[in-house]
Structures are given as structure tokens and as C-alpha cells.
Amino acid sequence: MDNRKPYQLVSREWKSENTVFDINGVKVGESLLMIAGPCAVENEEQIFTISEFLSKLGVRFLRGGAYKPRTSPYSFQGLKTEGLVMMRNAADKYGLSVVTEIMSADKIDELCEYADVLQVGTRNMQNYPLLRSLSKIDKPILLKRGMSSTVEEWLLAAEYLLSGGNHKIILCERGIRTFETATRNTLDLSAVALVKALSHLPVIVDPSQATGVRDLVPSMSVAAIAAGADGIIVEVHNQPEEALSDGDQSLYLDQFEKMLPPLRKAGAIHQRTFDFDLPRVPVEA
Ligand code: PEP
Ligand code: MN
């Protein structure tokens, strides 16, 4: 054990080279990741429309919540199993991998059946029984930073996953709480550069939860890649005004398409390319 840092397995001292692992043909940690989709799965038309659009642009990862952690118990809580089925069907039709949130350990089996990546949300980053359970499964985990967590607490949460045996971890900076209320959260991009130095794990950015404001998402996405992030996860909706959650921060489809060229340029700063530029194997309809 190296006693200089409280975390071990996540550290660069433990493993100097970047962690790279494969998810359905995409080398995470090597290709820049683009994970896009609605905040929540709402109905078939919505998820199929968005999936078709994203797939045509070459996007490989579809996000969408079926179990939603909502601040109010009266808000839309997600379509649960029904949403997972819709999302999996849409993803299979358009050749996408599914990223969706897990809120409790009792849903691990169900979510593993439908999803390719399990997202641990900001509210659960320090749910240690959940982390311990997820450390035992063979499924990549997207670990969001707790909205009030330090970088050290975030890395220690990842340490729970690695120490239990799950090494397929993607860290995600999604904004933290500060005194500033003009944006939903404060996007801590310095944490991205810092964690890239401290850890070998891939780090991505969620500019949607970070800002809460759709028009800030393209510039913050570019900034994230320029800062050295390994990708982004972004909310996109075919009808943001009608969205059942997070409509204000969801990009219009054309807005999403327009930000891809600047993102490629930001990647080029680090001689990196996005997964949406990988050659695609055609999907059988
Ligand atoms: C989300 O991705 O929709 C979400 C709820 O994320 P976070 O846990 O970062 O708030
Ligand atoms: Mn959301």
C-alpha cells in the first residue's frame, strides 16, 4: 500500500498508463466518447426518433433514464421496466449501446439485462452498499461526481468499485454546488484536468446537468474536450419544450448536430478523435 494517498487502485502511482477498455467496439479511454439522448425515456416515439437521429450522425451511445432520481416525489419518476424495454429496442434497431441510471442494488439484474453501461448518479456517489454491489459485476460503470463531493471523495468512491474487482469505470464531472445560482451547478473543469493527472481512469463531462441551460452546452462541451476530458454525456431531445424532465438543458437535434465539428477540432488539440467518427458496421433492420 502507498500511504501517501487515501486511494490506491485508482491512482496514477498504481497504474501509470491510461485505462482503456472496450464497450461494443469502442475503446473507452482512447476514442473520445459521445453519449447522447434524453434525460428520461418518455415514450416510444421519442426514444426511437432520437435514436434514429443520433445513429445517423454515427453516435454509439444512447443515454436515457428509466429510473429517475427526482428531487420531488411528485415529479415524473421514469417509465421503469417499460422504459428499459423501449430503450433497448430502439438501441438495437439503430446499433447503439445503452447508458442508464441505477439507483439501488435490487435493480442490478434487471438493468444488466437491458443496459451496456450503468450510471451512478450524483445523489448516489456515496451510496457505499450500492458501490460495493456494483464492484462485483462485469458491467462498465459511469460514476458521476457527487454534487457536493471533493475530488478525493469522488476518487475514493471509484476506489470502492476497483477494490471489489470492477475496473471498467468512467468518471463523470457533472457540476458541483457553489454560491452561484445563475447556472444549475458550477462546471468544475479544473477537476477534469486534475483527475486526469491523479488517476488512470477515463473522465468525461456532463455539460447538461452542469449548466442547466441548453445554450451553454455546446461551448462547455468543447471546453471539456479542450481541457482533456475523454468524452461527454449530453442531453438531447426531439421536443425539449415537451420533455418530462430537464427540457431547459436538453439540446435541440439541430443544435446537437452543429456542435460536432467544433468538438472534432477540440479533440484535435490532443490528437484525438471521437467514437462517432469510427467506421460503422451497418445494423440489420
Ligand atoms: C441525469 O443524467 O439525468 C442525472 C440525473 O444526472 P446527475 O446524477 O448528474 O444529476
Ligand atoms: Mn437529466
Interval between CA 258 and ligand 1 midpoint (Å):
24
Cα–Cα distance, 110 to 234 (Å, whole number):
24
pLDDT for res 4: 75
pTM for the whole structure: 0.97
pLDDT > 90? residue 83? yes
Q: Among 174, 185, 217, name the best residue to mutate to test ligand 1's pocket (greatest count of ligand atoms within 8 A of Cβ).
A: 174
State the Cα–Cα distance between residues 46 and 35, nearest whole angstrom. Answer: 17
Query: Do 228 and 193 contact (CB within 8 A), yes or no?
Result: yes
For residues 187-210, average pLDDT:
98
* Residue 52, Cβ density class (10 Å: 0-12 exposed, 13-18 middle, ≥19 buried): middle
Find the 280 Cα to ligand 1 centroid distance in Å: 29
Domain spans of the chain, in order of start:
21-269
What CATH number has the domain spanning 21-269?
3.20.20.70
144 by Cβ neighbours in 10 Å (0-12 / 13-18 / 19+) ranks as buried
Are 175 and 206 contacting, i.e. CB atoms less than 8 angstroms apart?
A: yes
Nearest listed ligand to the Cα of residue 122: 1
The 3-class secondary structure across 139-190, one letter per residue, is CCEEEECCCCCCHHHHHHHHHHHHHCCCCCEEEEECCECCCCCCCCCECCHH
Q: Model confidence over 232-249: pLDDT tens digits?
A: 999 999 999 999 999 999
Q: What is the pLDDT of residues 223-233, one digit of tens each?
A: 999 999 999 99
Supply the residue whose CA is at minimum distance from atom 9 of ligand 1.
122
From the CB of residue 109, how many other CB atoms can be counted at a distance below 10 Å? 9
Residue 3: its pLDDT value, please?
64
Compute the average pLDDT of residues 51-68: 98
| CA 17 to centroid of ligand 2, rounded, Å | 32
**pLDDT at res. 285:** 55
Mean pLDDT of 47-53: 98
pLDDT given for residue 283 in this prediction: 67
| Nearest-CA residue for atom 4 of ligand 1 | 121
